[in-house]
Chains A and B, each alone.
Chain A
Amino acid sequence: MFSEFLQYLFTGITIGATYALIALGFTLIYNANHVINFAQGEFLMIGGMATVSLTAMGVPMLLAIVLAVVLAGLMGIALQRLAIAPAKDANVVTLIIITIGASIFIRGLAQLVWGKKYHVMPNFSGDEPIEVFGAVLNSQSLWVLGVGAVLVAVLVYFFTRTMTGKAILATSMNKDAARLVGIRTQMVLMLAFMVSALLGSIAGIVVAPITFTSYDIGIILGLKGFVAAAIGGLGSGVGAVVGGLALGVVEAMAAGYLSSDYKDAVAFSMILLVLFFMPRGLFGAKVVERV
């Protein structure tokens, strides 16, 4: 009984940590630019797929990971420079469609390079599962949680202790004022997309041994990240982490105790329920609309 519950909890927290990282990526770009980046999931796909194919070509694992992350980072910069920046006067829906166009484009490229097959990535540290109170814990789950925790710590440090991080925060609060005090806001926007892409690709790499990976895995992962970010409240870092973990755990419990067919329906009902009572998510900033 308890071991069953624990089992679902492990699954939920693992996938939830991934959602949290994707949601953080959404949050970063949303804060910098007020854009919801529907291509966010593609960064995960690029991370996982590039690592798998590079290791298959004989590149050592660690180097392959670094190269995959760099590739994703460059794509993030390209996305901001080539697709978002030129459309600066576009409204919200138009920007959404542009990022959707970008995600179809990236997916199309991935399909050209890597084909449509599912690819398997081996666990980082062996297939020996760990037993905890009768529940089985995949060793890769520990990697996901560990890497997730480290990334969150790095982000906190970056935003509270470094000049660059503070510049991003300042730009998100008031772009014009930030420019007045000498922050190069275009540079900051580019940086936000890059960091977001780095986050996404790292999440994609650590989770790939659990979920497998293919050219179209980014769609549903990206959407779940968006759900997590909205549950937490768009723009809130704490919200993204809490939203991600909550979504993962609720989903795993629903799959375990109710029906795995309806686990996604539970996730989407959860976001509706949260928004009915808290229209700006759990931790969303209360803003006054200026007329």
Chain B
Amino acid sequence: MSAEQHRVGDQPWVRRSLIGLAVSLTVILLVIPVVVIFTEALSAGWSTFSDNILDEYSLHAIGLTLLVALLTVPLNLVFGTALAWAVTRFRFPGRKLLITLIDIPFAVSPVVAGLLYLLLYGRNGWLGGWLSSHDVQLMFAWPGIVMVTVFVTCPFVARELIPLMQQQGSEEEEAGVVLGASGWRIFSKITLPNIKWALIYGVVLTNARAVGEFGAVSVVSGNVRGQTNTLPLHVELLYQDYNVAGAFAAASLLAAIAILTLIAKAIVEWRQSRIEHPAPKTGGA
């Protein structure tokens, strides 16, 4: 053992073998699968790839998926921000319970989530029966897909904001109140700049999951091609039809969104660390 070794696992051979093992497992389990998605998508050539993407049903699935994300993200943005503000800026009875409750979608199987909505809003459900007597059909139609997607993705924004806002504390906002600022001015000028990056990342995560949700959506969608088929469901349909290249072409779009999500996260973390540890320009008092 060299005299410089102070910390556990600093010997060169330990370091090299641990890094080697970790990197190879990561490549096998995470990197190669991504590579496979794109090689399979392009296995039959670029023209087949673009045909697969520009297919009528594919385009419809893309459109529906975008609609779902477009409706889900703003709803959960408002909810997540409101919830984070309530639980980090105030003390009230039931606060801890509320924090636990919003984790339910993380713990519940997506199939169960879809079932819950189907039972309530489906034709036989107590609310769905009433709705269908008024000619409103939510399940096996796009509103149902949006509803379960909202359920599945509702924790993301709140989960990103709560730890950050807890750690930042409310001193800056209190200072704003002492200086006479209105509620909106405090939120927009003081709070929002402080949570901006976490909020963006929460949105990115919500979007990624909204675009990619499969289990819950497949329960309530009815999988009608060209009507209630989202992109992940479309991937499944093509795969079951033994159209592997088609399935992977659709999958590659979703994988691209996933990769953009990871890049967004890296940027956000980099920005956050720059705010917390900026290069000081001056010393002394």
Q: Do A and B bind?
A: no
Spell out B's residues near A (CB within 8 Å): none
Spell out A's residues near B (CB within 8 Å): none
